[in-house]
Structure formats: C-alpha cells, structure tokens
Amino acid sequence: MPRPTRLKNTRSDDEQFELRLIVAYGFMILMFIVLVGRFVYLQVMQHDHYMTLAQNNRISLVPTLPNRGLIVDRNGVVLAQNYSAYTLEVTPSKTGGLDSTVEALGKLVDITPRDMKRFKKFLSESRNFEPVPLKMKLTEEEAARVAANGWRFPGVEVKARLFRDYPFKEMTSHVLGYIGRINQKDQDRLDDEGKTANYRGTDYIGKTGLEAVYEDDLHGTSGFEEVETDAGGHAIRTLRRTPPINGNTLKLALDIRLQEVADKLFGQRRGALVAIDPQTGGVLAFLSKPGFDPSLFIDGIDSATWKTLNEDWQKPMVNRALRGVYPPGSTFKPFMAMAALETGTIGYNDVRAAPAFFTLPGSSHQFRDSNKHGNGSANLARAIQVSSDTFFYKLAWDMGIDKIHPVLSQFGLGSRTGIDLDGEATGVLPSKEWKEKRFAKYKPEVRRWYPADVVSIGIGQGFNAYTPLQMANAVAIMANDGNVFKPHLVQEVVDAKSGKERRIETQPTRQLPFKETNFEYIKHAMETVLKPGGTAARIGVGLQYTMAGKTGTAQVVAIKQGAKYNSAAISEQQRDHSWFVAFAPVEQPKIAVAVIVENAGWGAAAAAPIARALTDFYMLGKVPADLVGQLTTVKTGTADPNAAARAQAERAAAEQETPDATPSP
Amino acid sequence: MQPHPLKRLWDFIKEPLDGWLMLFLGLIYVLSLFVLFSADNQEWGRLTAKFGYTVLGLVVLWSLAYLRPQLVMNFAPPIYVTGLLLLIGVALFGVVVNGSRRWLELGITRIQPSEIMKIAIPMMLAWFFQKYELSLSWRHYLVAGLMIVVPGALVLKQPDLGTATLIMAAGFFVMFFAGLSWKLIIGGLVTFLGSLPVIWNFMHDYQKKRILTLIDPMQDPLGAGYHIIQSMIAIGSGGPWGKGWLNGTQTHLDYIPERTTDFIFAVYSEEFGLVGNVILVILYLLVISRGMMITARAPTLYGRLMAGAITLTFFVYAFVNMGMVSGILPVVGVPLPLVSYGGTATLSILVGQGMLMGIANQRK
C-alpha cells in the first residue's frame, strides 16, 4: 500500500511546535539584524554622502532638455527646426521689487510694449518662483550688457534657449501647426497621462497640427544632471549626468516643392489644395490659403494680434483643407455615376435625354441646366464629360437617397478620413437618418425627407458638404480602383537614438466591392473631361501624359457668423467657389488632387489651371513659366518675361470660359 | 476590609491586561507622539485625532483581552464569511480610487473589506485547525490553503499587492505553526521563486515600476524613485545621533512624502539617528518576544496558532515598513505599527494585541 502524502509532520506535536517557534523567532531576529545593518550602512558608512545631499540645495537634480525632433519633407528639406538664442528671464519671487527691476532692465535692453504685454500674460499664468521670459531672442550685445550688470539684479538671468523655427512660415502653417508655452490645460493633461516628470524644465509643447499630433515623438526624453550648487544656487560642478534622448525626426510624405508651387499658383486667392499619392495614401501637398505666421504663436501671442487674426474676414486661422466644408458641385458627378452603375440604375450605353430643364412628376418647378440649351441626349460618360445637370437630376430622382448613400459613403464622403491631424471635419453625406438627426429640434415638416431633396444632391448641391481633403481622398480611391488608404502626412518617424525608421501604414485599409469595369468606365469618362468637348478641354491642351478630372462649382452660402462686414469683400464673397478634382496618369495614377478656389467663379475657371500646372510640375518637373525665379525650393533658370506673360494669359483666358454648372436655385 | 472603590476599578481594568506588553506598546506609543508632532509641523490637529482613535482602540483592546478566547473564537466563521462576501462585493460594485478597486460604498461611508481580512483569515484558520485538531489530515491543509488563496486572489485583483501579501502571510503563519510540512514549505518557496518571471508578466505597470525603481531608484529620480531617494537621504543624513527632535531638514523642507503615515519612520530616523532606530527596533523586538512567550505558553491549539500569527504579522508590519522606507523592500502601503498616523491601521494592531492578551490570560 502506497504511503499517503504527509503534509503534517507526525513527530510529537509539542516538540514540533517549539521548534517552529524557535525558527520563527530566530528568523525575526535575523531580519531585524539585517535592518539594523542597513541603518548602520546608511547612517554611519554613507552618512557623509547623504548629509551632503540633504544640505540645503547643495545638490540638485536639474533636468536637461532634449532637442525637439525635426520635421522634414519627403526629400529631407527641413520644415521645422530649432535654433538657440538668449532670453532674458525674471523670477518674480527673487527680485527685490518686480516693477523696479523691469524698469531698470528697460534701460539695458529694448523692451517693447508687446514684450511687456506678453510678460504680464505669462506672469498671470505662472507661479511666483518660476522664471518668466521678459524678452526673447536678445542680441549678443544685449545679452552681454545684462550679464555684465547681472549683480545688480537678483532673480534676473540670461539663458540660452532653443527656439522653434518654421522656414516656410505661412506655406506650411496648416500642416505643421506650432508649439507654444505649456499652459494650465496642457499641464493637467500631462498630469493625467503621467508625463509630468518627462516635462520638467520643458516650456513648450505642440499645440496644433503635426506638432501636436506627434508630440510624444517630437518631444523626446528629458535627461538630468546631479549638480553641486553653492548657497546662491549657482552650479559649481556636475556630479552625474544622464543625457537626454532627443525627439524623433518626422519625415513627411509631403513634397515642399509641390507645396510651394501650389502656394504660388494660388497667389493671393483663398482656398485649399490637397494632393495625395493614390498608391500609398501619402499626402504630397496640403495647402490652406491664406496661412498664418506660426512664429507669432511660439513666443506667445498678444491679444491684439490674436484678435486681428481671428477677426480677419479671410479667416487665416481656419484650416480649410481639413475643416472647411463646401458643397462639391459637379465634382460629385463621377461618384454619383458609380452609384448609378453599381445599383444597376443605368447601363454604360443607355442614352437618355439631357434637356434644358428637369421637372418632377406633378410639379411645375423647373430644375434648370447650367447650359441653357441643354445637351440634347447623352449616355452616362458623356453626361460626365459635358457635366449635364438635368441628366444627373433624373438619375438621382430614379435612384432615391437610400440607394445613393451606401455607395457614396464607401468613398469616405461624410466621414473622417483619419488623417494624422486633429480636428478634421466630418462633412455631410445626406441621408434620411442624417436629416432627421440634424433637424431634430425642428418641426416634423422640416425633419422629413422629401423625395425632391434628392434632386439637387444629384449634382453635388443641396445638403452635400465635404472637405477638400475628403474630395482628394475620394478621387484617390477612384483613381486606384477602390483601394482605400488612410491619408497620412507623416511617412516615417526616424528614431533619434537608433536611426531606425518607423513607417506609417502604407497598406490599403480596405478594397471597395465595386466592379472594376465600372471604375474603368468612370475614369475614362473623367479623362474625356479634359478632351475636346469636355468642360475642361482647354486645360487638357498639350498634355504630355494622361490626366482625368472633373470640374465643379459650389454655390456660396451666406457669410459666416462673426465675420466682419467688409464692403469691398462682400461682392466677391458672393461669387461661387471653383472646384477641380483630378488624377494623373490615368493608367497608373501617381497623384490625385482636389483644388478649391473660393469665390473664383465657376468650374474650370480658377481651380483647373492650378491642378494642371501642379501635375505638370509633379509629372515633368515643369515649373510654370510665370513662377520661374520665384521659387525658393526649386532651382530654375532665369525668368522669360514672354513665357511668363503667356502662361498668365492662358490661365486668365481659362477663367473666361463658359460656366459648366450654375445650379438652379 | 473592602478596598477603595477606585482601587477596585483599577484592578478590574488592569486584570485582563498583560503588563509587559502594555509597557512596551506604551513606550512605542510615547515615541510616536513626539514623531507625529514633528512630522505634522508642530501642529496639534493630527495629534488630537490620534488620541481620539487610540482611546477607542484601547477600549476594543481591553474588551478582547477581557473576553475568553474560546468565546471570541466562535466569531471567526461569521466574520470570515462576511469579509469574503464584502470582498466579492468590492469586485462587483467597488469604487475605483487611484486605479484600483478597493472600496465599497455603503451610502454614508466607505469601507475597505481587505482590512477585515487581515484579522479574519488567521482567526478563521486557527478556529478551523482547533475544530479538527484530533483528526488533522492533508485535506485540512488543502482547505486551509483555499481559505487563504481565495480572499488573497480577490485582493490581488483589486489590485493591492501590499495587502494581498500581508493577509496571505498571516494565513500562512497559522499553517506554519499548525505543522505544515517543511518539505511543502521549502518546495513552495522554490516554486514561488521559479514562477517569479511568470508573475512579472502578470503585474501591472505601476507594480513593475515600483520594483524596478527599488532596484535602482536613480533610474527615475524625478518620478517614481523620488520618494525612496528622499527618505534614504533623510535616514542617512540623520547619522548616528540624529539631527535632534524638530530639527530634521528633510522633514521640514517638505522632501519626505506621506511623512505622517507610511514614511513617518524617515522623520523619526532623521531626527533620532541610529540610536533612535536601534531603540525602536529593540522595543518592537520586546513586543515580539513577549508575543512569542505567550504563544509558547498558550494552552489551546487555537491560542497558539492565533498568538503566533498575530506576533508574526506584527513583525511583518514593522519590518516591511522600515525596510521600504530605508530602501531594501519595495514601496507597498504598510504602516509602521502604532507609529504611523491612521485610525484603521492602529485599530487593527490593537485588536490583535487585545486577542493576544486574551490568550495570555487563558493559562491563569
């Protein structure tokens, strides 16, 4: 018989118990001896070391700041960098009297009223024992003067600080965003995320744009120094140091040359342009006009400048490419065509009437065509080429919103693209549910979906509203036969320490379940838009590669709330927006682009020439003749005044062409 | 001749108390008042509160010492079951504070059921072993093990590594004195050490961080290592003789975190030096020695097991607290017995000591 497992010892219980008592007692005494040993070590052997540490301020831990990561474009051109400059900083609690100190300093360095305002703002935001910058970027001479007189001013220091510089200023402002001083809100967020320790000594944090989205990468990891200091708090020597780890470099998909060409092509006009590489989802150009000077924000903006910027009727602070929502106008038609084909509403060769106006059954209301004579009759491809409104009114009416919405939502219309920027607008892809929700507070008559609502939606008007980014993304999806990528500005993050690159996802996120022949059909129809007979025929003249596109006109909604009334601007602000979406080359698309020029009139007028000049530059490296000599990022020959005049004239002529779609009211 | 009524009252009060224990605990308590006064920046607020809960604690201590352990013992199962149900309640409806679910909201007040288990587990096990004293087999050890592990796991899940370790240790002490096989103890220890890497993977980030900063506080001197570094500076700079009462610079310049509760030992150590530390350690050792004596003389199995577990738990509190403050153990929230400010902690120490005195009276 096997012996049972014995968990209990069978020796005499009392003897056993006493033994255990002794073991436990011995163990406790031993542990206490260890503890006393530890005390002897700390309090006798290491006493001097710890005494030194404890002596007031003898040794202090000083954080050393990492350099913020650079931001470079796809070819390595620096878009955001750091430079060192002297700042004059005042610690209010250490000065004898703050006002007199500042006044005396005013005799040594030039303190402008703007500096003063900013200083007061910082004072109200910081605690008494924190140094507050009085003047940024001292000249060498000023720094020397303050340093020489330093003994007269307790609590005043000249410090070398790193500043952020955006060499392309307005041109990249809506992409990069800017950094600014850490305020209470930022501080609370850092607390919540447990990052406070890493931000000790850091004054700046990304506020908007890529600077904010990639803050964790750009900031890096703070190092620290164990510094021996004298009674006055001045460092004598460094005992130990752990170096900081600099922020990672962001390498963008954006090509600054393309961005500059786009910027110059817009000139003083307002609008937005987004160019995407359909093969990867990388954003090649991302422009919102006008931009703003980000350096205004880094040093802390004063309220007067802020007010001017905010109340400017041109809204330079609004990122139009990301947050501006516009009716897409006729650029919507290729996507409508996909809905019609996918739902079987129409076949490739079905010829239908494209008259001068369209009326609903049992109604006398006329939905007029932009071409007052109409276009006779057309199949779907020709309806796209000539941008027939009546054809698409009928098509939309035949389908109804319930068939349109599911197909168009596949192109990402009416939902965020997921680009790596904060605050993206959703836009509106209308549906019955959307209308019910949008007008939930109104009477049922307003909330209800009327069958007639769908008619103007068919030509990209009505409730339709999308951002230029969404349109560019939708065109890119169309261009590469339904491969959906998440658009991204950053192509890779380069680790500062190891140099390893972390690529941002370039795999398609999904594939649209549409017929390939449908894509081919619509893409071909878009190609004919730039051929003779198309609405952008003039733009297609002399193409050295294949290009497909679609013109569009967006009706302007009333001036937004809060904008200043400006009599000179008002008539211009009521003009329609000019849209153009395009991709090239048609067979193997390398660039998809959406351009909107605000209040520039109809269709092909302003937007299409910009798109053509941009693709010419991207595909052929051809600099528009009138920009020769004006670009900082591209080396060009000397300007040819004749060619420049010709190029301008050509674009001006394009603006005189017949409108393609003036929607009926 | 009838003695004076006051004398009779005094005798009645003194009767159930253990003189030596009262003396040693009293000395520790007197020291603690001085430390608290210094740690609280020479204010009377916390000191007054401490008096308040000490009086309450002494009433409980006296009652438990007065009652016969055989009577108290019978409350073990209901207390244990209640505690266990409350712990399950916490897991289901608990309030999350600082990322861990430890509290149960009872309308007007919040309770932390894991505190009840600190005393309920050893009581329950001692009761259990006493009940089956004559027929103990390996099954009973298995059941006892389960009675420890189930509440232990519930507390561990909250997550509260410190308390889970303490309540499981208290249960283990009972099993140890009840004669758990040495082979099993050593085997268990080896298995535990072997499974450390696995446990590591299951730990929360904050627990990992605590352990990593223990090994090298300088890894994160501005973050998690800050507390340990500052309290080590306080102890080390105290030197052999200390900086003198109310003269601790680390304390008074606000460098010591939680200086009235978990880190109060750093305050004491800075001001009273190595000499003070040795005196305090000796006082704790005296309490423990007296506890061991009571354990050895206890006439019943319940008495032995309970007295042994109470004494060892008391030791663990003192050792772990001083160990963590001086930087040889991880920072877990364990108070220094009788010295740390806090009603619940003091009460649970005095409950234990009261039971110990009750057991001491049994032999009379």
Distance CA A560, CA A311 (A): 12
Distance CA B142, CA A92 (A): 68
Distance CA A555, CA A460 (A): 10
Mean per-residue pLDDT for A4-15?
Answer: 56
Tell me whether strands A249-252 and A71-72 are parallel, antiparallel or unpaired: parallel
Task: Specify the number of domains making up chain B.
Answer: 2
Count of A-B CB contacts under 8 Å: 130
> Would you place residue A335 in the very low, low, confident or very high pLDDT band (cuts 50, 70, 90)?
very high
Cβ pair A4:B240 closer than 8 A:
no
Chain A contact for B45 (CB, 8 A cutoff) = no
Which among A28, A46, A197 has the least Cβ separation from residue B236? A46
Please state, for a pLDDT cut of 90, what percent of chain A lies above it. 41
B residues 225..244 contacting A (CB < 8 A)? 232-240
What does each C-alpha distance from B355 to A325, B65, B110, B294, B316 come to in angstroms? 76, 6, 26, 11, 18
Distance CA B360, CA B125 (A): 19
Residues in B closer than 8 angstroms to A47, CB to CB, are: 236-237, 239-240
Q: How many Cα atoms occupy the beta-carbon half-sphere of B316 within 13 Å?
A: 23
> Would you place residue B108 in the very low, low, confident or very high pLDDT band (cuts 50, 70, 90)?
low
Q: Tell which of B181, B204, B223 closes a domain.
A: B181
Q: ω before B159 within 30° of 0 (cis)?
A: yes
Residue A181 pLDDT > 90? no
Nearest-CA distance A239 → chain B (Å): 13
Does residue B339 share a domain with residue B217? yes
Higher pLDDT, B12 or A150: B12
Residue type, A624: P
Cβ pair B223:A197 closer than 8 A:
yes
Mean per-residue pLDDT for A558-562?
Answer: 41
Does residue B343 share a domain with residue B271? yes
Residue partners of A150: CB distance under 8 A and separation at least 6: A156, A157, A158
CB atoms within 10 A of CB B140: 20
Residues in A closer than 8 angstroms to B180, CB to CB, are: 7-8
- Find the angle CA(A211)-CA(A215)-CA(A217) to the nearest 5 degrees: 115
ipTM of the complex in this document: 0.93
- Asked if B151 contacts B121 with a C-beta cutoff of 8 angstroms, the reply is yes
The per-residue pLDDT for A559 is 39
Characterise A610 by phi-psi region: left (phi > 0), alpha (psi -120 to 50), beta (else).
alpha
Does residue B234 share a domain with residue B329? yes
Residue A31 pLDDT > 90? yes
Q: In what order do the strands lie in the sheet with A548-554?
A: A283-289, A271-276, A591-597, A577-584, A548-554
Distance CA B332, CA A532 (A): 80
Residues in B closer than 8 angstroms to A12, CB to CB, are: none
Structural domains of chain A in order of their starting residue, each with its CATH number = 60-93+104-252 (3.90.1310.10), 256-485+515-654 (3.40.710.10)
Cβ pair A40:B274 closer than 8 A:
yes
Does residue B97 share a domain with residue B28? no
Buried b (16+ CB within 10 A) or exposed e, B47-71: beebeebbeebeeebbebbbbebee
Active site residue A330: yes
Find the residue in B nearest to A31 (Cα): B319
In a domain, B207, yes or no: no
DSSP string, A75-134: T--EEEEEEEEEEEEE-GGGSS-HHHHHHHHHHHS---HHHHHHHHHHHHHS-TTS-EEE
In a domain, B220, yes or no: yes
Does residue B364 share a domain with residue B217? yes
Does residue B130 share a domain with residue B51? no
In a domain, B164, yes or no: yes
- Report the greatest alpha carbon distance in chain A: 116
In a domain, B205, yes or no: no
Residue A445 pLDDT > 90? no
Give residue A340's Cα distance to chain centre. Answer: 34
Chain B contact for A7 (CB, 8 A cutoff) = yes
> Which one is catalytic: A126, A222, A288, A330?
A330
**Residue recorded with tokens 């030509």:** A459
> Would you place residue A1 in the very low, low, confident or very high pLDDT band (cuts 50, 70, 90)?
very low
Lowest mean pLDDT among A71-75, A282-286, A351-355, A544-548: A351-355
Nearest-CA distance B81 → chain A (Å): 26
Summarize pLDDT for A196-207 with one digit per residue, the tens: 778 877 888 999
Q: Tell which of B161, B181, B201 closes a domain.
A: B181
In a domain, B10, yes or no: no
Point out which residues pair with B204 in neighbouring strands: none
Distance CA B347, CA B63 (A): 13
Summarize pLDDT for B247-303 with one digit per residue, the tens: 887 776 667 778 888 899 999 999 999 999 999 999 999 999 999 999 999 999 999
Does residue B130 share a domain with residue B59? no
- The alpha-helical segments, DSSP class H, found in chain B are 5-14, 19-39, 45-66, 69-73, 76-93, 113-131, 138-156, 161-177, 182-194, 196-202, 205-215, 226-238, 249-252, 264-297, 301-325, 343-361
Residue A495 pLDDT > 80? yes
Residue-range definition of the domain harbouring residue B283? 20-65+213-364
Does residue B42 share a domain with residue B87? no
Which among A35, A51, A56 has the least Cβ separation from residue B323? A35
Does residue B83 share a domain with residue B102? yes
Residue B343's SS3 state is helix
**CA proximity to B249, closest of A53, A139, A259:** A53
Does residue B361 share a domain with residue B218? yes
The per-residue pLDDT for B218 is 66
Higher pLDDT, A90 or A211: A211
Residues in B closer than 8 angstroms to A21, CB to CB, are: 177, 292, 295-296, 308
**CA proximity to A320, closest of A112, A106, A576, A577:** A577
The per-residue pLDDT for B30 is 94
Cβ pair B181:A9 closer than 8 A:
yes
Higher pLDDT, B355 or B343: B355
Chain B contact for A200 (CB, 8 A cutoff) = yes
Residues in B closer than 8 angstroms to A5, CB to CB, are: 138
The per-residue pLDDT for A637 is 65
Residue from B172, B237, B267 whose CB has the most chain A CBs within 10 Å, to mutate: B237
What does each C-alpha distance from B184 to A361, B145, B151, B171, B333 come to in angstroms? 91, 12, 21, 15, 29
In a domain, B59, yes or no: yes
> Would you place residue A232 in the very low, low, confident or very high pLDDT band (cuts 50, 70, 90)?
very low
**CA proximity to A512, closest of A480, A539, A535, A544:** A480
> Would you place residue A9 in the very low, low, confident or very high pLDDT band (cuts 50, 70, 90)?
very low
In a domain, B188, yes or no: no
Cβ pair B138:A38 closer than 8 A:
no
Chain A contact for B128 (CB, 8 A cutoff) = no
Residue A560 pLDDT > 50? no
- How many H helices and E strands in chain A? 25, 23
Residue A25 pLDDT > 80? yes
In a domain, B243, yes or no: yes
What does each C-alpha distance from B118 to B121, B151, B157, B322 come to in angstroms? 6, 10, 16, 20
Please state, for a pLDDT cut of 70, what percent of chain B lies above it. 91
Mean per-residue pLDDT for A234-241?
Answer: 70
Does residue B347 share a domain with residue B259? yes
Q: How many Cα atoms occupy the beta-carbon half-sphere of B271 within 13 Å?
A: 22
- Asked if A597 contacts A606 with a C-beta cutoff of 8 angstroms, the reply is yes
Cβ pair B181:A6 closer than 8 A:
yes
A residues 138..197 contacting B (CB < 8 A)? 197
What does each C-alpha distance from B316 to A232, B27, B29, B322 come to in angstroms? 45, 20, 18, 10
The per-residue pLDDT for A231 is 42
Cβ pair A36:B284 closer than 8 A:
no
Cβ pair B177:A21 closer than 8 A:
yes
Nearest-CA distance B52 → chain A (Å): 31
Residue A429's SS3 state is coil
Residues in B closer than 8 angstroms to A42, CB to CB, are: 232, 235-236, 326-327
Summarize pLDDT for A246-269 with one digit per residue, the tens: 999 999 999 999 999 999 999 888
* Torsion, Cα of B269, B270, B272, B274 (10° steps): 60
How many residues does this entry show for chain B? 364
Tokens representing A79 are 């878009």
Chain B contact for A9 (CB, 8 A cutoff) = yes
Which among B141, B176, B232 has the least Cβ separation from residue A50? B232
- Asked if B267 contacts A82 with a C-beta cutoff of 8 angstroms, the reply is no
DSSP string, B260-307: TTTTHHHHHHHHHHHHHHHHHHHHHHHHHHHHHHHHHH-SSHHHHHHH
Cβ pair B232:A4 closer than 8 A:
no
Residue from A50, A58, A202 whose CB has the most chain B CBs within 10 Å, to mutate: A50
Residue partners of B15: CB distance under 8 A and separation at least 6: B66
Find the residue in A nearest to B295 (Cα): A21
Residue from A5, A31, A35 whose CB has the most chain B CBs within 10 Å, to mutate: A35
Summarize pLDDT for A376-423 with one digit per residue, the tens: 889 999 999 999 999 999 999 999 999 999 999 999 999 999 999 999
Chain B contact for A541 (CB, 8 A cutoff) = no
Does residue B225 share a domain with residue B165? no
Which among A4, A20, A47 has the least Cβ separation from residue B236? A47
Mean per-residue pLDDT for A532-550?
Answer: 91
Residue A55 pLDDT > 50? yes
- Asked if A88 contacts A106 with a C-beta cutoff of 8 angstroms, the reply is no
What does each C-alpha distance from B349 to A210, B113, B261 come to in angstroms? 57, 16, 15
Distance CA A118, CA A133 (A): 9
Find the residue in A nearest to B230 (Cα): A54
Residues in A closer than 8 angstroms to B296, CB to CB, are: 18, 21
The per-residue pLDDT for B223 is 63
